[in-house]
Structure 1
């Protein structure tokens, strides 16, 4: 259902682009705007991982610094039939995460320090499964296509404001053409946000199937949404255009599933996951966190036995990790 909605929204965006393009610039103007938008977004697509990670202040972590996180992600990636993604850590107390990368082979999962220190291992696994679902569904490509069409519509609108439309014989008249020039970018932005919300629902569904525990993802979404209201993510605040990439809104924790929201209402997402939890085919394949072979010497205060990547071990004898 979510895939069908995405297809319908993309078809609507394409129709909007073609309609505005024909009225404002004719066939030639429409093609010029499309070529420029494709070029700009193609560059962004192939460099999106580097750009986004740099803007969010993320640093790559290795298996030595975060063995539990690596083990968990590797097992989830195997269940999702995906290559092991690169892992990055964002130094903020707000629990959150996002995925990027132009292809599954170049997939990246970035988590915040607050995610691994304030959520339980099962909840962290569910969040990572959600991000792997984005990679599996190639949502980066979907959002790039949407951004390309939205950018092309905006370019056409600017062209129309400068040149006043293709000619005076426009089928909607001069006033209609001006109105479309002004409203088209808003309509394109609304479609872009709707696509983003639809992909979040789909990633919840696929992610719950990957980890086999919809209620763990529901619990994680509830905690993240509540904590986002109290804990600021300064990296996201400095680059608000990237906020839609996170699993939950890192800026405001908006409660309404409205036209201008980039994320669905957390209550709606949790309700959908609760309905999934009644499906024995999903719950029956639940993901069990791997048991450690050697204990981790460090623990987080909020989650017993969990070691936050990049933290130094505490002095004293080693303690059992979160999985044994």
Structure 2
């Protein structure tokens, strides 16, 4: 594949998944959400999380893992956005997350186990997925959802009760938002197989088996699930999850990669 196209002037609405758009509108109507956001995501909380992450991870830059920082730089150039902070943290569970409180001091965290599981192109796709949250301005809702999931929100008793009541709505929104971010990953990878490989490895990979897995077989598995599964059976299965089912994500990204909307974007005909 040749040099990747930079998508100058790219807007979030050009790749935002329709489910993300609908779920965001629904979340904006939830009573009590604005009050909880003010309670948990004030200036003090913002500074605390920023400093806590700086103290417990390794900040990536030109003088620290420059190859990884270069992947971040290129992804930001393709998506036409500012470069956030990037940290690497020791954790045996392959994962990445983004925190951005009211758009200030956004940062991305990669777990070290991702480095053992993924190729550089796949790592960049994960970074691009996280950049998608920033590009789509998921920041405040995403941070609140992450705090609830990570269990680190310091909320008074009445606030925690309110948060628990909102958790179902937040998780529903988060699952939809993730689909937009998968699209951001594809816009950077510009090769759907890379994104599918990431999803497959996160679903059932290990450092010793990752190179043996077949992305096309995983897509066939996704299509078989879609054909045999009933939507009303899938819904209860996904309610407690922060991400859509891996096979659903793989099929969604495969479909979008073949759509006229995606083809126009990467051809530079939409900007």
TM range (shorter): 0.5 to 0.7
Q: How much does 1:73 deviate?
A: 1.0
Other-structure match for 1:210: 188
Aligned-pair distance for 1:205? 2.1
* Alignment counterpart, residue 168 of structure 2, candidates 183, 190, 212: 190
Aligned residues of 2:114 and 2:123 also touching (Cα < 8 A): yes
How far the C-alpha of 1:132 sits from its partner, in A, is 0.6
- Using the size of structure 1 for normalisation, the TM-score is 0.55
Asked whether the 8 Å contact 1:89–1:113 carries over to 2, the reply is yes
Contact 1:61 1:87 in 2 (8 A): yes
* Partner Cα distance (1:70, 1:101) in 2: 19
Q: Are the equivalent residues in 1 in contact too, given 2:200–2:246 (CA < 8 A)?
A: yes
- What SS does the corresponding residue of 1:82 show, helix, strand or coil? coil
1:260 is matched with 240
Deviation at 1:135, TM superposition (A): 1.3
Per the TM alignment, residue 91 of structure 1 is displaced from its structure 2 partner at its CA by 1.9
Match of 1:285 in 2: 266
Residues 171-191 of structure 1: CA deviation (Å, up to 9, x unaligned): xxxxxxxxxxxxx76542211
Answer yes or no: is the 8 Å Cα contact 1:133–1:207 preserved in 2.
yes
Matched, 1:155 2:163: no
1:142 aligns with 2:141: yes
For the residues of structure 1 that align with 2:90 and 2:51, how far apart are their CA atoms?
17
> Does structure 1 conserve the Cα–Cα contact (< 8 Å) formed by 2:97 and 2:130?
yes
Gaps of 5+ in 2: 1-17, 148-153, 209-234
2 CA distance for matches of 1:48 and 1:221?
32
Gaps of 5+ in 1: 19-32, 159-183, 231-254, 287-324
Count of matched residue pairs: 216
Aligned pairs (5 A) from 1:308-319: none
Q: CA deviation at 1:277?
A: 2.2
> In the alignment, what sits opposite 1:171?
none
> Could you tell me which residue of structure 1 aligns to residue 63 of structure 2?
64
